[in-house]
Amino acid sequence: MVFCCATLVLAAASDPRDDQGARYPDQVQRSVKDVVLAVARNQLHSLSDGKYKQGSWDEVKNIQGTTGVAWNYPWGVTLYGLMRTTAVLGDTIFSSFVFRHNEIAARFFVYLKWMEKTFSSAHQTELSSLFNRASLVELMKLDRLDYCGAMGSQLLEGLLFPNGKATVEEESLLAFVADYIVNKQSRLPDGTFWRPEAGQTLWIDDLYMSCPFLVRWYRYTGDLRYLNDAASQVIQMARRQQDTDGLWYHGNFIAQGKTSPYKWGRGNGWAMVATVEVLSAMPENHPSRQDVLEILRRHINGAVPLQTPSGLWRQVLDHPELWEETSCSAMFAYSIARAVRRGWISSAYLEIVRKAFEGVSNNVTTDGRVNGTCEGTGIGTDLNFYINRRRPANDPHGIGPVLLAGSEIIETETGIHSGIRTASFTLEQNFPNPFNPETQIEYSLTERGSAALKIFNALGQEVKTLVDDVKEPGTYSVSWDGTDSMGHPVPSGQYVYRVSQESQFTSKKAILVR
């Protein structure tokens, strides 16, 4: 089935309600674009730096914090959704909001770290109280993936946009987050992230709290270790948590050697979205790609038969007596649409996606509030735990997934290519990376014209021209053997490879290790 943005119209909602049964305004027929824009516009608000300066404790203890800035994982997914909205619809008001938000947050983070370094010895109690009141409290208390992964991922998403450039403060913040995820977060002996402090448990939610950051950190640094880590997280988690029907159990009690008994909807959503994010970054020849792809296909094929007539999925997926839930339904719609667009599954699945977003849209008010979303949820061992979770009006866990799903559907329909792009070409991360002695660089052209692919060293000096010719539209792969224009081996280090066409160009980093 083929449908386009202009003609995919969503059914009117008959009786959208929150937990208290309050009726929301009757909805009119809307396109996917209408829904995405309503939700996206509802997130915009005033942002401003706080009033703070360096000085003595008496001078800084009453600082005024930022306005409009937040740091929590649902907000991280929402900011990612706003970036995707700009990428697909072209309205930069949303990306501009995200860029400004992140710049303010990073400045405040650097200031709070200065306070911590300067006053922690003499004013630990007062400092802890100040941090607990700050908008970045979770970042300053960083001791779990929830507190950094989703927010760090959306920050990287913005920096990987065309013309994205990190401030000094953003670089500092990213290094802090990366150090925690890569080096400090608790892992099982096989490297899988877990939560020993939370009853020695493993959560499938943590796939989203880690993998999207890791794959973007790989793209940002060019270091293949981070992509490999993300792929390993998916594979090892699936080995423990994915059932024979393709669905995932919410958690695992490691000390007891058993999984939790229920397949929570949003937990499965986190796992499926994370798998899609990892697969989207994997080169075709990555040794783990087929394993990750099969995990995704099993997951999709396990979820599809449980879609309800409304298009939604349930709070616990395989319990038909439970209520339907918005956030997991949007997550599945996003993931399945991406899988169709990338050619991982048949286009016949588009009907599932369309039906899902129709159901989701019925829980979105005309002014962009998202309802029918489960509140934050731990691992339950009793079905009533999941049954009795609240569904607050406009709960933040549902907003980002709706933006992601709608944007992905629009992109699937219109064939817009997302990611690192310019008007006429795309450039992929070289593979392998780091490399020795040779690496492959893939680029795609959408227009006929003169194209060049060149290598530069860390000083910006041209090392070698790999391509300089008129090219037809298509995808090309070029090998670089680590030599300069004279055929001499170049030393170990970081190099930049740049593709250009006409006056436009984009570049990425490659690491040569002799």
Tell me the pLDDT tens digit for each residue of 322-355.
Answer: 999 999 999 999 999 999 988 899 989 999 999 9
Domain contains 454? yes
The pLDDT of residue 413: 79
How many C-beta atoms lie closer than 10 Å to residue 46's C-beta? 6
User: What ranges make up the beta strands (E) of 140-231?
Assistant: 201-203
pLDDT of 21 over the 60 cut: no
Per the CB < 8 A criterion, the answer to whether 380 and 333 are in contact is no
Sheet holding 258-259, edge to edge: 201-203, 251-253, 258-259
Q: Is residue 125 part of a domain?
A: yes
pLDDT tens across 288-329, in order? 999 999 999 999 999 999 999 999 999 999 999 999 999 999
Q: Answer whether 24's CB lies under 8 Å from 17's CB.
A: yes
* Residue finishing a domain among 184, 203, 237: 184
- pLDDT at position 3 over 50: no
Q: Residue 11: pLDDT band by 50, 70, 90 thresholds?
A: very low
pLDDT tens profile 124-140: 999 999 999 999 999 99
What CATH number did the domain enclosing 485 receive?
2.60.40.4070
Secondary structure element (H or E) that encloses residue 498, with its range: strand 493-501
Residue 495 within a domain: yes
Residue-level pLDDT at 360? 98
What integer best gives the mean pLDDT of the chain?
A: 90
Cα dihedral sign, 460-461-466-471: positive
Cβ atoms of 301 and 247 closer than 8 Å = no
- Give the whole-angstrom CA distance, residue 410 versus residue 350: 12
> Which sign does the torsion angle of CA 271, 347, 292, 513 carry?
negative
| Contacts (Cβ under 8 Å, ≥6 apart) of 376 | 397
Q: Is residue 305 part of a domain?
A: no
In a domain, 466, yes or no: yes
Residue 175's pLDDT band, with cuts at 50, 70 and 90, is very high
Q: Is 235 helix (H, G, I), strand (E, B) or coil?
A: helix
Q: Is residue 265 part of a domain?
A: no
Indicate whether this model's pTM tops 0.85. no
In terms of Cα–Cα distance, which of 372, 254, 375, 218 is closest to 308? 372
CB 185 within 8 A of CB 195: no
| Domain count across the chain | 2
**Domain-located, residue 443:** yes
User: In which band, very low, low, confident or very high, does the pLDDT at 66 lie, cut at 50, 70 and 90?
Assistant: very high
In a domain, 382, yes or no: no
Asked which of 184, 211, 240 is the last residue of a domain, the reply is 184
Q: Which domain holds residue 467?
A: 425-512
Which of 147, 168, 184 finishes a domain? 184
Confidence of residue 6 (pLDDT cuts 50, 70, 90): very low
Instruction: For residue 315, give every residue at least 6 positions away whose Cβ sits within 8 Å of its Cβ, in sequence order, or none.
Output: 264, 265, 322, 323, 324, 325, 328, 374, 386, 387, 389
Strands, E, within 324-438: which ranges?
324-325, 425-427
Percent of the chain scoring above 90 in pLDDT:
75
* Dihedral-angle region of residue 394 (phi above 0 means left; psi in -120 to 50 means alpha; beta otherwise): left
**What is the rounded CA–CA span in Å between residue 426 and residue 459?**
24
Q: Give the C-alpha separation, 37 to 406, whole Å.
A: 9
Contact 360, 312 (CB under 8 A): yes
| Number of other CB atoms surrounding residue 431 within 10 Å | 19
